[in-house]
Amino acid sequence: MKKIIDALPLVVFASLIIVLFSFLSDKDDQLETALIDSSFPDFNLGSLSDESRVLTKQDIIKLPALINVWATWCIACRVEHPFLMKLKEESRLTIYGLNYKDNKLKALDLLERDGNPFEFSIYDFEGRLAIDLGVYGAPETFFIDKNGLIRERHVGVIDEKVWEEKFSKYLNE
Amino acid sequence: MNKLIFFLLFIICSMQISVEEKVNFDNEAYPFASDVQESLFYSLLNELRCPKCQSSNLAGSNSPISNDLKREVYELVVEGKSSKQIKDHLVDRYGNFIIYNPPIEPATYALWFGPFILILLSVLVIIFVRKRIT
> What CATH number did the domain enclosing A139 receive?
3.40.30.10
A22: in domain: no
Q: Has residue A13 been placed in a domain?
A: no
Is position A109 within any domain?
A: yes
- pLDDT-above-70 percentage for chain A: 95
Instruction: With respect to residue A129, please indicate whether it lies within any of the assigned structural domains.
Output: yes
The residue of A32, A131, A140, A155 whose CB has the most chain B CBs within 10 angstroms, and thus the best one to mutate to test that interface, is A131
The answer to the question of residue A14 being in a domain is: no
Subunit contact A136:B125, Cβ cutoff 8 A:
no
**Rounded CA separation B49/B62 (Å):** 12
Q: Mind telling me how many Å the CA of A134 is from chain B's nearest CA? A: 5
Residue A87 counted as domain residue:
yes
Tell me the per-residue pLDDT of A106-156, one tens digit each, with 9 for 90 and over: 999 999 999 999 999 999 999 999 999 999 888 999 999 989 999 999 999
Contacts of A33 in chain B (CB under 8 A): 95
Burial of residue A122 (number of CB atoms within 10 Å: 0-12, 13-18, 19+): buried
Nearest CB among A5, A29, A132 relative to B93 is that of A132
Asked whether the beta carbons of A139 and A162 are under 8 A apart, the reply is: no
Phi and psi torsions of A68, nearest 5°: -115, 120
B99-125: average pLDDT: 87
Q: Tell me: the pLDDT tens digits for B10-60?
A: 877 776 655 555 455 555 678 888 889 999 999 999 989 888 877 788 888
Do residues B52 and B66 touch, judged by C-beta distance below 8 A?
yes
- The CB density around residue A40, as the number of other CB atoms within 10 Å, is 20
Range of the domain at A136: 33-171
Tell me whether residue A26 is in a domain: no
CA distance B59 to B71: 12
In this prediction the ipTM stands at: 0.79
DSSP state of A58: G
| Number of domains present in the structure of chain A | 1
pLDDT one-digit tens code per residue, B57-86 = 888 888 888 999 999 999 999 999 999 999
Mean pLDDT of B104-130: 88
